[in-house]
A and B are shown apart, each in its own frame.
Chain A
């Protein structure tokens, strides 16, 4: 019967905003209903009767949902974005294993290793970028906090850049020694500069 209560409350909260607060309220209400149900059964009510009374005591949740909806702050959407990006990063790392396996079993070793290196690099850059957007539990309110935040982002931006150029340098030598196409491979540095420009726009925007 407790599972039945849980299913009932879950169903009611289908329309609730997907926030941490809404989840907590749901858990609290469910706990109250379980307590109530158990008390009623102890008092001698039948299970069906107790379930019916418990369910009826919930009332109309629309006002509560409206209150919870109001609370969707930028922090909440930020949190969702953070979690989504983290999933993407995990996926990229998993995907990076594919070319490595391919490299071990096929002839096109070089190209596969390159793909793996690029994937890992993208994954690491995204992961570092995502850290800057990790939602905090305290709100940034004072001017000094905001300055510290900007400073923090700037230092992370620097470490991303350093990592990017290291990867590019490694790739430059791997590709050049394998293909001997030294007259073309220097173009990779142009590519790196372009990536850095894109990063600047991206992180610059995030800075507001």
Chain B
């Protein structure tokens, strides 16, 4: 969990937008997907997730609504907006650019194939 968690946290918004690109989802489901994709190595804290939701909603990148599918558990679903999709593309481009830059800056060839 500690590995690179700061690096990941810097991309919280991108990760959330990315998981909403496919379909509307709620907090726990998004976190479960992230956990599954990282083989249980990473998961957002509730605090991080909801601070991000709030920020993204204020920015008009996502909207939310109460889902009516389940009677016992009322869940708030989040949905990406057109603006959110644009923002996602922009953030993804930013990430690709900085990824290449950082790689060039920090890779000295000391570690080859994990050795």
Identify the A interface with B (CB < 8 A): 24-25, 27-29, 31-36, 39, 57-61, 63-64, 67-68
In the complex, which residues of chain A have a beta carbon less than 8 angstroms from the beta carbon of B43? 57
Identify the B interface with A (CB < 8 A): 26-28, 31-32, 43, 45-48, 50-51, 54-55, 73-76
Contact status A28-B45, CB under 8 Å: no
Q: A28-B27, A28-B76, A36-B28 are in contact. Are A68 and B54 (CB under 8 A)?
A: yes
Contact status A59-B54, CB under 8 Å: no
Contact status A59-B28, CB under 8 Å: no
In the complex, which residues of chain B have a beta carbon less than 8 angstroms from the beta carbon of A33? 46
Q: A32-B28, A64-B54, A67-B55 are in contact. Are A59 and B46 (CB under 8 A)?
A: yes
In the complex, which residues of chain A have a beta carbon less than 8 angstroms from the beta carbon of B45? 57-60
In the complex, which residues of chain A have a beta carbon less than 8 angstroms from the beta carbon of B75? 28, 31
With A and B bound together, what is the CA distance between A61 and B26 in angstroms? 19
Contact status B51-A63, CB under 8 Å: yes
Q: A24-B76, A35-B28, A35-B73 are in contact. Are A29 and B51 (CB under 8 A)?
A: no
Q: Which of B27, B28, B47 contacts A63 (CB 8 A)?
A: B47
Contact status B48-A67, CB under 8 Å: no
With A and B bound together, what is the CA distance between A163 and B97 in angstroms? 71
With A and B bound together, what is the CA distance between A66 and B47 in angstroms? 11
Task: Give the one of B47, B48, B55 with max A CB within 10 A.
Answer: B47
Q: A32-B31, A35-B28, A57-B43 are in contact. Are A64 and B73 (CB under 8 A)?
A: no
Contact status A32-B76, CB under 8 Å: no
In the complex, which residues of chain B have a beta carbon less than 8 angstroms from the beta carbon of A39? 32
- Would you mind naming 25 contact pairs between A and B with Cβ atoms under 8 Å apart? A24-B76, A25-B50, A27-B74, A28-B26, A28-B50, A28-B76, A29-B50, A31-B28, A31-B73, A31-B74, A32-B28, A34-B73, A35-B73, A36-B28, A57-B46, A58-B45, A58-B46, A59-B45, A59-B46, A60-B45, A60-B47, A61-B46, A61-B47, A64-B47, A64-B54
